[in-house]
Amino acid sequence: MLDRSLQRQILELLRDHYPRGAIPVRDLSLSAEQAAANLRYLEEHGLCESGAVIGADGHLAFGQSTITAAGIDFLEDDGGLSAILGVITIRLHADTIRNLIESKIEASSIPDKEKSILRKALAKLSEATLRAATTDLVKSGLDHLPDVAHWLRSLMPN
pLDDT for the residue 48: 95
* CA 20 vs CA 74, 92, 107: distances in Å: 19, 45, 63
Looking only at Cα atoms, what is the longest distance across the chain?
A: 81
Pairing of strands 48-49, 52-54: unpaired
Q: What distance in Å separates the CA atoms of residue 146 and residue 151, rounded to the nearest whole number?
A: 9
Distance CA 60, CA 80 (A): 33
pLDDT for the residue 157: 78
Boundary-marking domain end, from 85, 118, 135: 85
Whether the per-residue pLDDT at 151 is higher than 80: the answer is no
Distance of CA 59 to the CA centre of its chain: 37
Rounded to an integer, the average pLDDT of 140-154 is 79
- 39 shares its domain with 72: yes
Are residues 23 and 65 located together in one domain of the fold? yes
At residue 22, the pLDDT reads 74
Q: What percent of the chain has pLDDT over 70?
A: 96
Number of residues written out for the chain:
158
Asked if 137 and 81 sit in the same domain, the reply is no
Position 118 confidence tier, pLDDT thresholds 50, 70, 90: very high
Q: Is residue 14 a contact partner of residue 49, using CB atoms and an 8 Å limit?
A: no
| Residue 80, number of CB atoms within 10 A of its CB | 17
Q: Based on the domain organization, do 12 and 77 belong to the same domain? A: yes
Question: What is residue 69's predicted lDDT score, i.e. its pLDDT?
Answer: 93
Q: Structural domain tally of the chain?
A: 2
Q: Tell me: do 77 and 11 sit in the same domain.
A: yes
For residue 55, give the CATH number of its domain.
1.10.10
CA 42 to chain centre: 17
The pLDDT tens digits for 34-91 are 988 999 999 999 999 998 888 889 888 888 899 999 999 999 988 888 888 887 877 8
User: Which domain-ending residue is among 64, 85, 106?
Assistant: 85
pLDDT at 120: 93
Q: Are 108 and 98 in contact (CB under 8 A)?
A: no
**Can you give the residue range of the structural domain that contains 8?**
4-85
